[in-house]
Chain A
Amino acid sequence: MSETTCFHCGDVCEEIIQIEEKSFCCFGCKTVYELFAENDLSCYYDLQNSPGAIPKEIQGKYDFLTQQNIIDKLLEFNDDGKQIVTLYIPHIHCSSCIWILENLHKLNAEITASQVNFGKKTVRVTYNSTNFSLKEAVLLLSKIGYEPYISLEDYSTGKTNINRTLIYKLGIAGFAFGNVMFLSFPEYFQVSGFWIEQYKVVFRWLMFAFSLPVVFYAAQDYFISAYKGLRAKLLNIDVPIALGILVLFLRSSVEIIFDLGSGFFDSLTGLVFFLLLGKFFQQKTYTFLSFERDYKSYFPIAVTKILKGKETPIQVYDIKKGDRLLIRNEELIPVDGILMNGNAAIDYSFVTGESETVQKQSGDNLFAGGKQTSGIIEIEAIKSVEQSYLTQLWSNDVFEKNKEEGFTTLTNAISKHFTITVLSIAIIATTFWLFFDASKAMNVFTAVLIIACPCAIALAAPFTFGNLLRIFGKLKFYVKNASVLEQLASINTIIFDKTGTITSNKKSTANYEGEQLTTEELVLLKSTLRGSNHPLSRTLYNILDAQNIVTLDHFEEHVGKGMTARYDNNNIKVGAATFVGHQEDKKVLNTTVHISANNSYKGKYTFYNKYRKGVSKLFNNLKKNFDLAILSGDNEGERENLKKLLPAKTKLIFNQKPNDKLEYIHYHQKEGAKVLMVGDGLNDAGALAQSNVGIALSENVNVFSPACDAILDASKFNQLDAFINASQAAIKIIKWSFVLSFIYNSIGLYFAITGQLAPVIAAILMPLSSISIVVFTTLCTTVLGKKLNR
């Protein structure tokens, strides 16, 4: 059977809707297509095949956008009938998306301009606010399948300023470096002569002028960091760098003031330029990913409050104890509350990692972070947002802690010895010259400090890790920063979450036990399941082989129990054991769905987690070098299954609450373990923050993952060991670069100690060492990346 895919969204069509020889999976997709075709925008489909998304049902969801205080927080600009708003749209993924979103003005004339930032997945819309509103803009976007994501985070952060200082500094250093280089050439090439004697003063003072912004602006971070390091009694890598820059500048200034020589301004500006280049290279950011997410990015910005029978949207922070709130289908419960009305089926997977929905009766307690999955409910708030169970997890100290502090990087570890060695060499050499030829002593002292400036050492790590970050990024492993890679290389314990991490979120398998069902019964079962929106029904419906679908004569769903259906005098009951009239087996912890037909019990479907591809192989690869453990929020139903799958010494721990996971990791860290935590949900957020390296696994990196150090695409999960090995290899590369740079330093020191360091030697040696380190590390990491690709 050939499958027809939707022209708009690319999904497989179950029922085909055809117009103009194009097929669509649903009326939503068809409507979007018609809308685009009417407005001469069908080019959308030429740029990329089926680029669209099915527009979702959004009735009433954006009513809160009529509230002035919320609008004010979201708008970037609001004046004179013109408003500008930047909206985050997760669906942006291809060039068609850019094209259609930048042609919004053709769909509605009130929109004057729209600009997409592909990296950040945002669109900045400018519109006429006299005839148009923010709500209408959001509705228009939702209507064409580009639903913006507006969360509590947008409310609290406000407008963030982009930090561009590094680009400015790099620009200034590069500008000065180039000019100083040219200005110093005359003296290098014409050492004596009437011409140079006449003009060298001009050249020198121009170079001095160019170096001023470099020393006092571009290099200021190194001085600040060195000062902070010294105050904390740490000799970090910035101490010798700052010392080198300072000595270079002072000696050069003294030389030109007293007409002793041309100074080292070219080396000075070159040094700062290369160092900043390293910083810039290391600063690979994935603008569309966020590693700092807390509950705020998951929570809605507003919720519907019921006051005297009237529905009004209110801001989530304004919820007070005792407020009546309306939660629609698929909405998140923002506060702890009591269920007052309606059928609650809450998906707590964010909070506990438990994959199944929980049925609640009127009067039961509901916790914040749960997602309502069946219809509309009414709750009464019993706490405010900040005091809710889930949000309290974020008050734990681990979220305040900066992981980079307290971790000594390889570079800083080396720099401690390096600084002491260089200072002693400088002092010994100076003392020697004081007795031998005192006029040269100061010269030698400064020369040693200049030539020993650890530019190459400081560049080795940024370029190695920076390049590796990019390689990993291409392989869908997104690492927050270079320091994380270094920590990843040092771990010895790996802890996995179960649900959603080693199991797949969407797929599960089911086994049937009991009397064989007849074809007729199977048809009836599948048709019955089709009518239900319960997650288990949906799963089972998808597992069952394609059968004919019949229109049922009778169908009734009993919430929390199951459903009954009738067709052609055949009755069927699907649901919990007691509902279909069967004795429940208390020992079985797995999820089951029981079936009875024509009042006789037939059998049950037992659901099992489906593990990700390659889990077993991955664990076997890892077990040689790491301690492995699984921490699950689920019950022990899968223990036997896991035991079969995983190496024998893997620890399996079940029924772990978010805080238990955090404590477990904390305990092992105290025992000296360096822990890598791999998790996926908000329930792992504490553990991810506590661990040395927290990796969040994500089926779709555009959707949200909790605060972490790295995000790994689920499809690459089985390559985790390769990533760890690569980061360990990177450490080796850095160590080799250190050896290389020590060789350069020794050559330079020979010139310095013997008192023959001419500016031209420094000007050749310093860039040469920096560039060769950059080339060496880049080549090595590229080779490493090639190996990973295989």
Chain B
Amino acid sequence: MKVTFPHMGQVYLAIKGLLDDLGIEVVVPPPITEKTLEIGTKLSPEMACLPLKINIGNYVESIQKGADTIIIAGSCGPCRFGYYGVVQKEILKDLGYDVNMIIFDPPNSDYGVFIDKIKKLAGKNSWISVAQAFKRASAIVKEADEMLDIALKKRAREINKGDVDSRLNCFEQEVLSRHGNDEILETIRKYKEILSQVEEKSDVLPLKIGLVGEIYTLIEPYVNLNVEKKLGYLGVEVYRSITLYEWVKLHLSLDVKYRMRHKRILRKAAPYLSLCVGGHAWQTIANTIYYSECGVDGVIQIMPFGCMPEIVAESILPRVYQDYGTPVMTLVVDEMTGEAGYFTRLEAFVDLLEQKRRGRVDGYKEGLFGN
């Protein structure tokens, strides 16, 4: 069995660590490139959302490298994500790739099925070693997120532009040759240290922008056209409302305190939206309010084209702006999104926030909403 999985930001670190520790051979899909997208677009239904297409590209590239089993996460609606696995399997089947697909739905209700699937994967490993491997893998998720947070802070302040990213690139090279949770964790820690040493300007007060929106688009840099990097180079400090670690805490662990906090933030959205409409739309509204209260300069909502829940959020956000006054911009990405136009919009938004900070703009043009 050679296992592969779709890319989603840093998730590959934890899955590789976990599978390594369980003694399962793993094929990390090659980094997402234009070619990945091209494969995915060609083979997927035209109307499917971008994440699905990129997933397909990942699978095909991994299968070419010998993978025969795919593991993915699922959900039970109402967002389309919950049915990804089934559709993807049919697509692969018609292509003649008869791979095994293991779909992990969040164990909210049914731990039995979840455990069965883990057993299927874990084979002869004892429960204790499986549990330990999971624990270490979640440490990877946590520390990898912390590493990214350091990068976000530093990028906005670095003296030599590009210092942060050249180090991150080295990290990506280096970590691939590591084996198992422990080695990967060690590498992450090493680079956390290295990143902290990047020299920064002392006298800057960067603009702060919070990112909200659909989870995959937020977490996978290729899909959001490296929005964090681009904003960083514009001297903006970026805050991420949704990270992998938070997802893990919310869905796979029993961290009650965290869940309470999560609920508290969600409650802020009550005047605008008081129930889950699928995906992360509710969080999008709630986090926009939360960020406004924390005093960020602006909020950017990112979603893939046609994302049903986020469209609901998008139409509500202007009201949040009216009440809180923090500018919000929506970015919709699909396979046709051009890098140049995208960057121009980011620049214009940052410009506006700068002017607003200097007190030059009082009324903010509603025209900036949406696309």
A binds B: no
Interface residues of A (CB under 8 A from B): none
Interface residues of B (CB under 8 A from A): none
